[in-house]
């Protein structure tokens, strides 16, 4: 009789995107998960969810991606989802200063999160619209370094800086911070060159919720 082996659990990481309405949270997610971009604005209602499997140094990890709504009326829902997040990503639009000024409100709302236990990321989106820029790169960098956040400016439209942000900066910190969830000795981790292969065989699951 063949012995049934228990299915191996792969480490799961929960990412949540926060930021003002129209800053491009959903577009960033779509660019990352499906490598596509939609010019038409469709406001997120409540919350959307997607997932994606990637490999870090040959270890599968499962990313649970929560896309929140920037509209004020949905704001009260957010603490329910930030509570057990591993990675929190704040998004502003480099062509709208107001969206950058509001990042501190989004940050201050995280009253139920133990900041030292999570990876924080600040993203300035829409760098393809550089001629309409209202927020300097240095302002973003300064805020991020004060709050100990990863920082990158990107364009969800062109995909500019996506590999650098996700595949290097974020995944490298996942490997460092949540080492016990990944296999390897301390030396391996320190010397680890992050090799990321998108799992082409894994069909990206897309599920909408709360609509």
Q: Least distance from C-beta 154 to ligand GTP, angstroms? A: 7
140 binds, among Mg ion, ligand GTP, none (CB under 5 to 8 A by kind): none
**Binding flag, residue 199, ligand GTP (CB under 6 A):** no
Nearer to ligand GTP, 10 or 209 (CB): 209
Nearer to Mg ion, 48 or 175 (CB): 48
Spell out, one character per residue from 7 to 36, where the chain touches Mg ion: x when CB under 5 A holds, - when not: ------------------xx----------
**Binding flag, residue 161, ligand GTP (CB under 6 A):** no
Q: What angle do CA 54, 60, 65 make, to 5 degrees?
A: 45
Distance CA 169, CA 128 (A): 21
Whose tokens are 């960098």? That residue is: 141
**Binding flag, residue 70, ligand GTP (CB under 6 A):** yes
Part in contact with ligand GTP (CB under 6 A); list of ranges 7-15, 20-28, 57-65, 136-144 = 20-28
Sign, CA dihedral 93-96-135-98, equals negative
50 binds, among ligand GTP, Mg ion, none (CB under 5 to 8 A by kind): none
- Is the Cβ–Cβ distance between 206 and 50 less than 8 Å? yes
**Binding flag, residue 44, Mg ion (CB under 5 A):** yes
Distance CA 59, CA 123 (A): 26
Q: In terms of DSSP H, where are the helices of 66-132?
A: 78-82, 97-101, 103-108
Distance CA 132, CA 118 (A): 33
By CB under 5 A, name the binding residues for Mg ion: 25-26, 44
């Amino acid at each position: 009789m063949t012995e049934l082996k228990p299915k191996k659990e792969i480490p799961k990481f929960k990412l949540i995107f926060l930021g003002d309405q129209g800053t491009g949270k959903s577009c960033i997610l779509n660019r990352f998960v499906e490598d596509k971009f939609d010019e038409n604005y469709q406001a997120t209602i409540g919350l959307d969810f997607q997932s994606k499997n990637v490999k870090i140094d040959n270890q599968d990890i499962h990313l649970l991606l929560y896309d929140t709504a920037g509209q004020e009326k949905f704001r009260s829902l957010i603490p329910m989802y930030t509570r057990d997040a591993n990675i929190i990503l704040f998004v502003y639009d480099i062509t709208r200063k107001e969206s950058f000024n509001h990042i501190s409100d989004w940050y201050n709302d995280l009253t139920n999160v133990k900041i030292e236990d999570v990876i924080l990321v600040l993203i300035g989106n829409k760098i393809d619209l550089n001629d309409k820029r209202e927020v300097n790169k240095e302002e973003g960098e300064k805020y991020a370094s004060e709050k100990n956040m990863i920082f990158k400016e990107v364009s969800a439209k062109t995909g500019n800086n996506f590999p650098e942000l996700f595949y290097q900066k974020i995944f490298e910190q996942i490997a460092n911070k949540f080492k016990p969830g990944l296999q390897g000795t301390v030396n391996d981790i320190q010397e680890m060159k992050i090799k990321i292969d998108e799992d082409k065989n894994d069909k990206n699951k897309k599920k909408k919720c709360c609509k």
